[in-house]
Amino acid sequence: MKRLGLTALGAMALALGGCTTTKQVQDLGFRPPEGSYKMIVMRPDVSVGLLTAGGSVEPRQDWTDQARTSLLAALTTQQAGHGGAVKIAATREETGADPQLVADLDQLHVAVGGAIVAHKYGLATLRLPTKDGAFDWTLGEEAVSFGTRTGYDYALFLHASDSFASSGRVALQAVSLLGCAVGVCMMPHGGEQAAYASLVDLHTGRVVWFNVLHSSVGDIRTPDGAATMVNQLLDKMKPGKDVRSAAKQAT
């Protein structure tokens, strides 16, 4: 059993629920990349930890390293079947840009991605009136500068968290289950995994496509678990509403 590792993704979990769920949003005119595009897949931002009896998550570096290795392998396999010239960056240096610029861009993406999750997927009270009905988010000039320096058309970002219940947490759940049997039911959650992926147009800096995942099953430390997450997030990018409408009218 698993738990969300990010506060921002808690709002998404409330909105989506279920065993494993994903939900995409995109720019109205978005078309999935095709042809001779060049794309950089940024080093995945990953966190894996132990869910304690008290409900906090203690990060585990060894688990995190295992998960990142598995996710990089899964990304390599997944992208191989989608065409284009794609580079999978295992380190910031492998992007071909100044590592500090890449670090700043990574931090900016975490901030913008967290805001998208909170305001686009979260409770109605968290949604921004100025973005109602629109998907209008950007990484700005930093992303454009990165694209100019590297020659890439797109950057794909992946942010993932996973956690695993400690023995104390499992024992607490067992006690709570007994309470449910006598009518006093306050079941503490187990561990969960959550992730989001975003595609950024490096010519404009705009986030043109975004997908979130929440699951109570799976283990991204393993090759199979990482492949499942990557495929669920990235395999079927949907075009934007205007593109879908035009396609319907054409038929």
Residues 6+ apart with CB under 8 A from 243: 28, 29, 30, 31
Please, are residues 88 and 41 in contact by the beta-carbon 8 Å criterion? yes
pLDDT, position 170: 39
pLDDT, position 67: 96
Tokens (6 digits) for 8:
């921002």
pLDDT, position 82: 82
Please, are residues 136 and 116 in contact by the beta-carbon 8 Å criterion? no
Number of neighbouring beta carbons within 10 Å of residue 190: 17
pLDDT, position 130: 57
What are the mean pLDDT values of the chain's consecutive 10-residue runs (251 residues total)?
42 51 91 93 94 73 96 95 90 95 94 89 56 81 96 97 63 39 40 89 97 90 96 91 77 68
One-letter amino acid at 51 equals L
Angle, vertex CA 39, rays to CA 34 and CA 42, nearest 5: 140
Buried/exposed 214-244: b ≥16 CB within 10 Å, e otherwise: bbbebbbbeeebbbbbbebbbeebebbeebe
pLDDT, position 123: 47
Where is 58: in which H helix or E strand?
A: strand 57-59
CA distance 14 to 26: 21
Would the pTM of this model clear 0.85, i.e. be above it? Answer: no
CA distance 92 to 86: 15
pLDDT, position 243: 82
pLDDT, position 215: 87
Angle, vertex CA 236, rays to CA 86 and CA 129, nearest 5: 100
Nearest CA to 146 among 68, 46, 38, 239? 38
Please, are residues 93 and 101 in contact by the beta-carbon 8 Å criterion? no
Residues 6+ apart with CB under 8 A from 87: 38, 39, 40, 41, 94, 95, 96, 152
| Neighbouring C-alpha atoms within 13 Å toward the C-beta of 137 | 26
pLDDT, position 50: 87
